[in-house]
Amino acid sequence: MYRFSARTANLLRDEIGCRIRDGRVNDFYTAAISDLASRVPIHAVSTEGLTWGEVDDHEDLAAAPSKFARILAEERSVNSRIPAAPAWAPYVSQFQPTL
């Protein structure tokens, strides 16, 4: 799972865009992250003991809103810099499945 600041997300979007324009459409996104890490600080954070997951199918997508809510609650409980829930509500609604 990745989470980037708005600034870094924009830089990553630009990095991926450059790859596409150069015809490198088969590069993995992790190569773009690796290249970006040479220019901006990117840090790994352990998820040990925390809720996390990936969305690979419709079942995962259906479970995503409640899982995302648990992740945000856990992050806030360990004094991270996550805004209060109302600021994140639009992101949670993006995970509502449309089957």
Under 8 Å between Cβ of 12 and 32: yes
Under 8 Å between Cβ of 46 and 52: no
Q: Which residue has the higher pLDDT, 30 or 86?
A: 30
The pLDDT value given to residue 89? 52
Range of the domain at 20: 6-37
In a domain, 17, yes or no: yes
In a domain, 23, yes or no: yes
In a domain, 53, yes or no: no
Total of domains in the chain: 2
pLDDT tens digits for range 56-76: 889 989 988 888 888 888 877
Burial of 91 (0-12, 13-18, 19+ CB in 10 A): exposed
**Average pLDDT over the chain, rounded to an integer:** 79
pTM above threshold 0.75: no
| Mean pLDDT, residues 36-51 taken together | 83
